[in-house]
Structure 1
């Protein structure tokens, strides 16, 4: 993680998302994408069309997570927790997050949120993901990642990562351009934003994926809270 963290944090504050370029190597992306057809290592498979989520499918990893994802989850959480705590303070929310991921997961598990949430998604031509929020229970860490495993323009065409924000002042949509191995860190639910007349306003965030025109697209979703 060689990102300019000050610029990264500024992007999160002003846009609700920020890109970590080349978080994974092409070999690491291929290694993770190759897990999708396997049956072991996953706790469930979801076909999105059956639930009105869009088209495509995804699988939730089971514990123990693949070592690479477990390492990323533990390394990124301590960098993101101070941002999450600052956001909650600005929004007037009492919740504060501990310094270490294991302490936070213990909090989730004590509340009955014991199922792992990291997932791998697969899209093929015509597939898309409706705008949504990944909540899963009472305890929600306000930042998460999506990592693109496939090569845009080569493995697939279309399938852009899309974010929207809604506030009292209106709505805004943005396409986040990713290359293979890039990760976008983004707000799960709400983020603080500067009000037009000063002070802080709450902005609701949602994310999704536009329709894939051709090929196949794999991504990783790295979520820090566990599910009920």
Structure 2
């Protein structure tokens, strides 16, 4: 399912496009599957501009070769402060829309919901806890590259949802490279899902775990651990922008 948007004007700002997503429908899909796609939030030109930052190493605090650490194959770079304006804007636009879902999940699981109303306040909390390294990430995969199943946890403070945006066009710029999500179900076999990332569209997904119905839990809900990764890219180059909403220690 793809969530429809009420705002599709070319001149719309990123904030308008993110606000125009049918968020109740997206929340419903997240609750059902652990991930949900949005309409286009970046134009092709914006996608090319973000992807082009990869070669400007001054924007980044570190580069990771996945094969070296047995994370898979490919490379990614963590942005440094100050974040590029478009990357910062995207994070600011998504956070308040994801916040009600995060709080709802915490309530279902009987967990604290420490996330304040604004991203700036939340990042201040991260910084005060020693998590002061920015986590937005630019990933690049070539033919034969892939990403092992993992979770993006960088410290004690964690925001339960994150976003990945496709910067290249599937089946034109690359083939393969589907986004993978695997959920460990209570007392059952794991469930997997794959999603093709469309250029300029965002995929919202769970960071660590999510609430699922449970007849054995007093609250009626239990936490299902979730990991994500990328299937093998068969041809071309696949680049994505990852938005994590907690910073790293």
Whether TM-score is above 0.5 comes out as yes
User: Any gaps of 5 or more consecutive residues in structure 2?
Assistant: 1-17
Q: Is 2:223 the partner of 1:205?
A: no
Higher strand share: 1
CA RMSD of aligned residues (A): 1.1
Q: Is 2:206 the partner of 1:187?
A: yes
Q: Distance in 2 between matches of 1:214 and 1:221?
A: 21
- Return the offset for 1:72: 1.0
Aligned length: 228
Moved more, 85-94 or 98-107: 85-94
User: Are the counterparts in 2 of residues 120 and 218 from structure 1 also a CA contact under 8 Å?
Assistant: yes
* Displacement over 6 Å in runs of 4+: none
User: Which residue matches 2:132?
Assistant: 114
Comparing both chains, which one has the higher relative contact order based on Cα–Cα distances under 8 Å and sequence gaps of 6 or more? 1
User: Which residue matches 1:174?
Assistant: 193
User: Which residue matches 2:141?
Assistant: 123
TM-score, structure 1 length as denominator? 0.97
User: Which residue matches 2:63?
Assistant: 45
User: Which residue matches 1:63?
Assistant: 81
Q: Is 2:98 the partner of 1:80?
A: yes
Q: Distance in 2 between matches of 1:79 and 1:99?
A: 10
User: Which residue matches 2:36?
Assistant: 18
Q: Is 2:157 the partner of 1:136?
A: no
- Return the offset for 1:170: 2.4
- Return the offset for 1:4: 1.3
Q: Distance in 2 between matches of 1:128 and 1:90?
A: 34
- Return the offset for 1:177: 2.4
- Return the offset for 1:193: 1.0
Q: Distance in 2 between matches of 1:26 and 1:93?
A: 40
